Amino acid sequence: MRKYANRPMRILAGELAAGLNRLKRGYVDAAEALAQLIDPRRAYPFEFVVYRLTGYRPPRGERPAESLDGAALRQDLLRLMLDVCDSFELRASAYCQAVYDTAGVAQRFRVSKKTIQRWRTRGLAARRLVMGDGTRHIAFLESSLRWFVSQRRQQVRRSMHFSQMSATERRDVIRRARRMARSADCSLIEASRRIAARKGRAVETVRYTLRNYDRQHPDEAIFAGGGVLDDGERGDIYRSYLRGTAVPTLARRHARTRSSIYRIINEMRARHLAARSIQYVYNPQFDLPNADDVILDSTADAGADTQRPPAMPKPSELPAYLRALYEVPLLAADRERQLFRRYNYLKYKADRLRRTIDVRRVNTARLKEIEDLLLRATAVKNAIVRANLRLVVSIARKHVAGPQTLFELVSDGNVSLMRAVEKFDYARGNRFSTYASWAIMRNFARSVPREKYHLGRFTTGHDEILDIAAALKSYDPGEINMLELRESIETVLTRLSPTERKVLVGHYGLEPDRPARTFEQLGRYLGMSKERVRQIEIKALHKLRTYLAPCEAELLK
């Protein structure tokens, strides 16, 4: 079974491939007809896809009620055609029209086989048919070729007229590029575009010719930039991108194409994720075949013990923002176990995907999937932390008489609370508040001397409490993974535009070794008014809340 962009399409392909052989050719032909009708800019209901392929309209609720992106759906339909063809013997003689294998299509259009492979990714439908010699081959119908040519006429014509650049033409390209670099001070990509327009060649072909010449003749290189970048330069490009520098600006600055800058950015993303340590508390449930459906199913939250603990009165002597913590409801026992199970499972999935990263062949879809899993895990963690912040306040109030102020104790205790979330094992049957209380008091024992005396005299007859205390021996609440924290912030900031990232990074001092700047200072730097900078910040913060709110709102139901 091939890899599908949409999980429902993968399931549907398996069902059709396991169906009756006499119906399978109809499924294949219907899939091609639907792929030709699909508009890549639109989304289509899954029920519509099932009906067009099988003529069967599933009852409401039997199939997932979701919409599928048009571009991804078209590719899934082409994959489905091959999977169904692989499940039975479909002969070329079954079609009353000409049938070509890959070599035949290449010969007909005077292109390479590799070009045919590229055409398939752009919508050319293929089948796996049993040809006249009795062997299976990737094959193309005459009608499929005609439809593709009608849709991609210019691309097909360009491929048919492509020829290798002759030595004379190559020398002319180099001569033109050298003159442009000296007189017009053109960059590599600008010169490639101008020469390509004059010579009727692809921009990438001209750029490759010039880059290849510079590598072979370093003493006579036309463009000083554009060589192989070291790790330091790649890191600078990645950090500049995260700070808000636009890709076109980076391309001009480093004499690169936009696509090469994107490749460098994705490579650095892959390196950071591959080197990142993702810690979680493992549970055997994570390896069950239906783990996704059981653990990540949001509908299960509705029955997660809807009776919340009664609201506690707000202590009047606390400042307003501390009293606001009491507005966040406590977590019931079942709800708490669900959140911790989901939190660790999301990180477990992210870690398994992280181990498959190949920095030499970056899969951007996989990087995005890992980052989304980590963001969802962070949203779950934030929900747990917010529901337990009042525990920190209640413990900190008992130690105010020490050398530290209440706010210092609360801040210190919050760090212990967040670290406790990382280490807590929900499967042991204890409530998180018990575990977190020991973590917070253990941390206070370092900062409040008299706490050591009380902890030393504390005894209990419950083995569960002793187990928790023993587990805390390997826990150091003073450790803060600043690299992980910064990577999480940078991942979220990639959702913003370059200008929005510059405003937030500059105003809140998120850039290393640079202090926070005022709206007026940022306005002078960006060439806009102070009020405009303030409006951009409001818009950026709203965008981040909108992006993160759905997960967090769902978790706090």
pLDDT digits (tens, 9 = 90+) for 2-13: 788 888 899 999
Tokens of 520: 């007026």
Q: Which residue has the higher pLDDT, 342 or 516?
A: 342
Based on the fold, state whether residues 442 and 392 are members of the same structural domain.
yes
**Residues 112, 181 within the same domain:** no
Tens of pLDDT along 101-152?
999 998 888 888 888 888 998 899 999 999 888 888 999 999 999 999 999 8
Q: Assess if residue 15 is contained within a domain.
A: yes
Tell me, yes or no, whether 307 and 431 share the same domain: yes
Last residue of a domain, one of 117, 139, 160: 160
DSSP assignment letter at 254: T
Q: Is the pLDDT of residue 481 over 70?
A: no
Residues 293 and 332 reside in one and the same domain: yes
317 and 262, same domain (yes or no): no
Closest of 294, 292, 295, 233 to residue 264, by C-alpha:
233
Domain membership flag for residue 1 = no
Most confident of 40-49, 175-184, 210-219, 483-492: 40-49
The answer on pLDDT for 311 being more than 80 is no
Dist CA 68 CA 60 (whole Å):
17
Q: What is the CATH number of the domain that holds 507?
A: 1.10.10.10
Query: Is residue 80's pLDDT more than 90?
Result: yes
The answer on pLDDT for 458 being more than 60 is: no
For the chain, how many structural domains are there in total?
A: 5
Helix (H, G, I), strand (E, B) or coil at 236: helix
| Domain termination site, one of 128, 160, 192 | 160
- Name the residue range of residue 270's domain: 231-246+257-275
Q: What share of the chain is helix, strand, coil (3-state, %, to 5)?
A: 65, 5, 30
Q: Find the DSSP H helices in 355-462.
A: 364-387, 389-397, 406-423, 432-447, 449-457
Q: What is the pLDDT of residues 347-367, one digit of tens each?
A: 999 999 998 888 878 888 889
Of residues 540, 539, 534, the one with CA closest to residue 522: 534
Looking at 114, 130, 160, the residue that finishes a domain is: 160
Is 197 among the domain residues? Answer: yes
Residues with Cβ within 8 Å of residue 190, at least 6 apart in sequence? 180
Residue 262: inside a domain: yes
What percent of the chain clears pLDDT 90, i.e. is strictly above it?
Answer: 25
Same domain, 427 and 303: yes
483, part of any domain:
no
Q: What are the tens digits of pLDDT across the range 36-72? A: 999 988 999 988 999 999 988 766 655 556 788 999 9
Note whether 197 and 130 are same-domain residues: no
Both tokens of 476, joined, read 């150091």
End-to-end CA separation in angstroms for the chain? 38
Phi and psi angles of residue 455, each rounded to the nearest 5 degrees, phi first: -65, -35
pLDDT, tens digit (0-9, with 9 covering 90-100), for 194-249 = 888 888 777 777 888 888 888 888 778 787 655 567 778 888 888 888 888 888 88
- CATH code for the domain of 404: 1.20.120.1810
Shared domain for 198 and 299, answered yes or no, is no
One domain, residues 53 and 181: no
DSSP 549: H
Q: Predicted confidence band at 553 (pLDDT cuts at 50, 70, 90)?
A: very low
Q: Which two tokens stand for residue 368?
A: 């995005």
Mean pLDDT for the chain overall: 80
Residue 485 counted as domain residue: no
What is the distance between the alpha carbons of residues 400 and 409, in angstroms, rounded to a whole number?
8
**pLDDT, greater one: 448 or 277:** 277
Same domain, 396 and 512: no
pLDDT at 350: 93
Residue 304 parent element (H or E):
none
Name 423's Cβ contacts closer than 8 Å, sequence gap at least 6.
Answer: 281, 435, 439, 471, 475
Would 225 be classed as within a structural domain? no
Residues 269 and 298 in one domain: no
Which residue is listed with tokens 């951009």?
536
- Between 460 and 524, whose confidence is greater? 524
- Distance (Å, whole) CA 556 – CA 544: 18
Q: In this structure, is residue 267 part of a structural domain?
A: yes
Are 424 and 334 within one domain? yes
